[in-house]
Amino acid sequence: MGHAGRILRQIRWYCGTLMGDTHYRRYVEHRRRTHPGEPVPTEGEYWKMRHAAGENPGARCC
C-alpha cells in the first residue's frame, strides 16, 4: 500500500507540475524571497500576468 501510494503521489506530482498547477505556489515563494514584505498577487492575477507576458506562445514543431 505504501509503495503504491508513493507511485501514485509521484504520478500526481508529475502531472501537476507538467501542466502547471504548482506554478503559482512557486511564484509566491519567489516573491517572498525577492520582494519580502510586499503584497503578493492572487492566483487569478498571477495567471493574467503570465498570459499577458506570454502573448507569443513559442514555436512548436510538426
Chain residues in the site for another protein (CB under 8 A):
13-27, 29-30, 33, 42-44, 46-51, 53-62
Residue 55 — φ and ψ, nearest 5°? -60, -35
C-beta closer to another protein: residue 37 or 57: 57
C-alpha cell at 5: 501510494
Shortest reach from residue 50's CB to another protein, in Å: 6
Alpha-carbon span 17 to 30, nearest angstrom:
16
C-beta closer to another protein: residue 1 or 34: 34
Shortest reach from residue 37's CB to another protein, in Å: 16
Alpha-carbon span 53 to 24, nearest angstrom:
15
